[in-house]
Amino acid sequence: MADKNAKKKTMTLAQRKSLEGLIFVSPWIIGALAFFVWPLFVSIRLSFSEMISIQGFQMKWVGLENYKYLIQTSTTYMPNFLAEITNTLINTPITLVFSLIIAILVNKDIKGRGFFRTVFFIPVLLGTGYVMQQLLGSGTNQVIDLPEGLLMTLGGDFAAIVTEFLNRITEILWKSGVQIILFLAGLQGISSSLYEASRVDGATEWENFWKITLPLVTPIILLNFIYTMIDSFTDSGNKIMSDISHCFTTGSFNQGAAMGWLYFAFTFLLCGLALLIMNRFTFNQGER
Amino acid sequence: MFRKPKIQTQGVRIRKKVKISKILLYILVAALLVFTVLPMICMVCRAFMPMTELFIYPPRIFVRHPTLQNFVDLLSSLSSSTVPFTRYIFNSLWVTIVTVFLSVVVCSMGAYGMVKHKPVGAATIFTIVIAALSFSGHVTKIPNYMIVSGVGLIDSYAALIVPSIATAYNFFLVKQFCEQLPDSLLEAARIDGAKEFRIFWTIAMPLLKSAWSTLAVFSFVSSWNDSFSPLVYIQTDSMKTLPLALQTMAGGAGVVARSGTVGAATFLTTAPTIIVYTVMKGRVMDTMAYSGIKS
């Protein structure tokens, strides 16, 4: 009898707890349902339909028509698509290398370490949207201009290459703030006893990097790789992104939705592939 | 007797080697730092440059004769529009502050409730969160517009605020930290007779401070810099926020003549983010390293 009672009581308590939890979560759930889950479904439906009238958003199912249009007829979508993918595939490894180097540098015992870390992180805060484009002076006016004397001695073409190179470095550095932080966290997770042991055995810094640092930081490299790719694919300066936004002004919502889905399907595929390949090279401390 | 000097020279040599590598290290860091900082210096200088210096060839990075004329021009009134620049500042501030506050409360509450009360369907919610993390907002922007216009919020502050309150990233961030809250502490408060909401507000929230202040910084940054939402949801000139106003200003006719003003506007737009960040710096760095992601 007493046992039964106790059981009943815990049940109701658990239920009550669950209910209270629901009350706590419900504002967020409502928000997420209204502005994420539902829009996601609508967006899928949009990409397979044709808008009959903007008033009340009446739609007609047209199957793969929108996707067909993008792949076969549209003159801008596929070139932009390919350009963005090449761009991402080039920039991602460079970003990773730079951010790893910076992380190792600011992880060393130097003066003003905190200051350096802060400065390398600040671009992340400014680095979204229009302000960044304004700052990096995309296209028209470049940030870094060589001094005139140097320009004369180098000659026009070569100077152009150098400026392009320097500007690209700036752009990459501006996009590696988060990666640097993640690498730093990874580096600080490596136990110093490993380095001490190898120093006793007579290993140089260079050997330490290849035999200890790099293998142990591979999980972070994988994480950063995926992060950098997604960041680059969803960058607001991205041509596909501006194409999607452009669909708002022209009112071609269906094409916009199809563009988004086609693009993100490919992004996911690429990330999955990267995950699969990189997983083979990732070193797990627990395994060996 | 003979060994002593030998040891000393060795010691000196090692110290010297260390010194050289250290100097090289500083040079390398400084060089990378210059690349990172240069655009920012450029922006600050451009904001204070007088007209005569803006169009010199070769272009200058540093300002010789700083002037506040650009800010005066910007704040007094732009020749082409009837809306004073201060109105945009107010719009941005209002939208951002309300968004940050509501986002902190809603996301913290949700994460706390989910972790500590485990309601029915907690697993499903978490799947949704993870899925949402990997999607760009651009995919859902069009349906979002339909919903906002369906509810009749177009051209209001609410249109800019409501859609960005319940973000998956913020939820995820706080959730990671909620898992570390000791159950015994909450239990103790419960035994002492505290109501659930009070436990959340007076015990959980102070303990989650580093999590939600990071959330606040990121929410601030994304809301303050967002030029896409106002572009889509706002029609009247007087309702525009700073980034959109800046975009209109820099994109319209007579850009060249106004590049000083644009510089000043860019400066005013970026300054608050940097201030907010430097104030919250310590906490953000810790949280970032711990949770491992950003929005």
ipTM of this model?
0.73
Name the pLDDT band for B252 (thresholds 50, 70, 90).
Answer: low
Q: Which residues of B122-155 are buried (b: 16+ CB within 10 A; e: fewer)?
A: beebeebbeebeebbbbbbbbbbbbbbbeeebee
Is A178's Cβ below 8 Å from some Cβ in B?
yes
Residue-wise pLDDT tens digits, B265-290: 778 888 888 888 888 776 666 665 55
Is A257's Cβ below 8 Å from some Cβ in B?
yes
Question: Where would I find the H helices in B118-156?
Answer: 122-133, 137-151
Ranges of chain A with pLDDT below 50: 1-9, 138-143, 146, 286-288
| Same domain for B91 and B54 | no
In a domain, B176, yes or no: yes
Pick A36's closest partner by Cβ from B29, B142, B168. B168
Q: How near does any CA of chain A get to the CA of B82, in Å?
A: 23
- Which chain A residue's Cα is nearest to B295? A231
| Same domain for B147 and B96 | yes
In a domain, B122, yes or no: yes
Cβ-Cβ contacts under 8 Å, B116 against chain A: 21
| Same domain for B29 and B88 | no
pTM over 0.80: no
Listed in sequence order, the residues at least 6 apart from B216 whose beta carbon sits closer than 8 Å to its beta carbon are: B100, B103, B104, B280
Quote the CA–CA distance of B5 and A171 in Å, as a whole number: 52
Contact B144 A35 (CB under 8 A): yes
Residue-wise pLDDT tens digits, A214-261: 888 888 888 888 888 877 877 766 777 777 777 777 777 788 888 888
Is A169's Cβ below 8 Å from some Cβ in B?
yes
Quote the CA–CA distance of B172 and B129 in Å, as a whole number: 7
The domain boundary, picked from B67, B90, B118, lies at: B67
In a domain, B72, yes or no: no
Domain definitions of chain A by residue range: 2-47, 66-127+175-281
Pick A126's closest partner by Cβ from B32, B109, B270. B270
| Same domain for B283 and B211 | yes
- Which chain B residue's Cα is nearest to A23? B113
Closest CA to A184 of B175, B286, B172: B286
Residue-wise pLDDT tens digits, B197-231: 888 888 888 888 878 887 888 888 888 888 778 88
Quote the CA–CA distance of A226 and A278 in Å, as a whole number: 10
| Same domain for B113 and B12 | no
Contact A130 B146 (CB under 8 A): no
What CATH number should be reported for the domain holding residue B286? 1.10.3720.10
In a domain, B76, yes or no: no
In a domain, B197, yes or no: yes
Is A148's Cβ below 8 Å from some Cβ in B?
yes
What are the start-end ranges of the E strands in A3-155?
A: 49-53, 58-61
Tokens of B171: 């939820």
Place of tokens 């070139």: A79
- Which chain A residue's Cα is nearest to B171? A28
| Same domain for B125 and B26 | no
The domain boundary, picked from B38, B67, B96, lies at: B67
| Same domain for B154 and B111 | yes
Q: Which domain holds residue B60?
A: 3-67
Residue-wise pLDDT tens digits, B70-109: 777 777 655 455 677 788 888 999 999 999 999 999 999 9
Contact B117 A29 (CB under 8 A): no
Q: Tell me how many domains chain B contains.
A: 2
Q: Does domain A66-127+175-281 have CATH number 1.10.3720.10?
A: yes
Pick A42's closest partner by Cβ from B143, B222, B227. B143
The burial class, CB within 10 Å (0-12 / 13-18 / 19+), for B199 is buried
| Same domain for B109 and B61 | no
Place of tokens 């999980």: A219
